[in-house]
Amino acid sequence: MENGAALRVGLIILDPLGVTKERNFHRFMAEAGDTQSTFARPYPRMQLRTVEDILNGKGFDVPGMVARGTGQGVLLSL
């Protein structure tokens, strides 16, 4: 993936990263910056979750979506 080619990226990994890899990846995610939404709060452009995080209910930090035609809010959870 080219930097800046995607609006948001969510990476799911099987095992937790080691200390050095985690530090480097967090630095890379910080360099990618945030995206602005219509909800006036920035969201991280890149996010990392382990399989264990996902199974424990920790999803990605994304803006809520409004379902078309229903008038009800729908939370997009990856």
Residues with Cβ within 8 Å of residue 22, at least 6 apart in sequence: 16
Confidence category of residue 66, pLDDT binned at 50, 70, 90: low
Residue ranges of alpha helices (H) inside the chain are: 19-32, 51-55
Cα gap 39→54, rounded to integer Å: 24
Q: pTM to 2 decimals?
A: 0.65
Q: Summarize pLDDT for 4-41 with one digit per residue, the tens.
A: 567 888 899 999 899 999 999 999 989 988 887 676 68
Q: What is the model's pLDDT at position 3? A: 56
User: Which residues does residue 13 pair with via DSSP β-bridges, in sequence order?
Assistant: 50
